[in-house]
Amino acid sequence: MNYDIYLDLVEQEKYKEAIVYKNSCIPDVLYKYSWLDEETSEKAKEANELRLSTLAKGQIYLSTQDQFNDPFEGKVFVFEGDDSLRSGFTVEQFQEFVDHINSHSRICCFSNADEKQQNMPMWAYYANNHRGFCVEYRLQPHQKNYIFPVSYDNSRVDGNKLLVNLISGIIQMVKEGKDSTEMPGEVSVHNQLAYLSLAYKHASWRHEKEYRALVPAVMGKYFDLEPHKIYVGMNCSKDHEKRLAEIAQSFSGCEIYKMQQTNNGLEFKLVELQLT
């Protein structure tokens, strides 16, 4: 996706066209890897049950930015002290403003369909060394409204000018008695850039090929999304495998597979065995 095209449409106040363009760049199928713990502690059992019961309800859990493993999550912008003070704002005030914007969104992370359920680093990182599971989701058009591709870069973003323009624009709107639905295109672009900082990461994460659901916090902690296929990790316990099979059976047309290591052939590849 070319974010310049998207933001140009926003600046022109062509909001519907911007959404249509953005949604056309979102795959119809996305994947989510989930952790299941083999520990027997009550805390581990409760965490496993929450993940499985959420899947059984046809929902995904929406996290907050402080729950992720990237130390720079939500810290994309750099605010230089001298520039900030000349604008009348401190570095702390700028960061508080960004944190305020980010606090109004909850997030869920997906992988794209390039490697489907074959992404072995994702199985290792996010599915507890193949002890967890992976879900294939088929997105409906209205669900794509909340999905954004993650951008990757080697450097952070100078946020001084962006935040000054955004805050000044909002102050002017308040003076004119305008609400958020009347936000001018230029202000909307700066607002979108601040919002999209939740979908911006260092280039070292590029291999995850991530898409994110950015959902207004007022919608709650869960997002309705039914599983289309469930892939059980090759090291998943029998008890968890049984539970996942029961969940798959509760959804019409949901298929379930067990991942296995290939014994023949030259490819580093997992094979899937359909479970009944």
pLDDT tens digits for range 73-88: 878 887 776 655 556 6
Query: Rounded to whole angstroms, what are the CA distances from 211 to 57, 102, 190?
Result: 22, 17, 21
Confidence band for 6, pLDDT divided at 50, 70 and 90: confident
pLDDT of residue 61: 95
pLDDT of residue 173: 79
Q: What is the mean pLDDT of residues 63-68?
A: 84
**Does the structure show a pLDDT above 60 at 212?**
yes
Comparing CA positions, the residue from 64, 15, 98 lying closest to residue 214 is 64
CB under 8 Å to 207, separation ≥6 — which residues? 121
Q: Mean of the per-residue pLDDT values for the chain?
A: 86
CA distance 227 to 254: 7
**Does the structure show a pLDDT above 70 at 116?**
no
CB under 8 Å to 255, separation ≥6 — which residues? 228, 229, 230, 248, 274
pLDDT of residue 87: 61
- Residue whose entry in the numeric block shows the structure tokens 């489907």: 116
25-45 per-position pLDDT tens digit: 999 999 999 999 988 889 999
pLDDT of residue 221: 94
CA distance 216 to 102: 10
167-209 per-position pLDDT tens digit: 777 778 788 887 777 777 777 777 778 778 888 899 998 888 8
**Does the structure show a pLDDT above 70 at 117?**
no
Give the DSSP letter of residue 213: E
Q: To which H or E segment does residue 137 belong?
A: strand 133-138
Torsion of CA 261, 263, 265, 269, to 10 degrees: 0
Confidence band for 114, pLDDT divided at 50, 70 and 90: low
The structure tokens listed for 37 are 């713990």
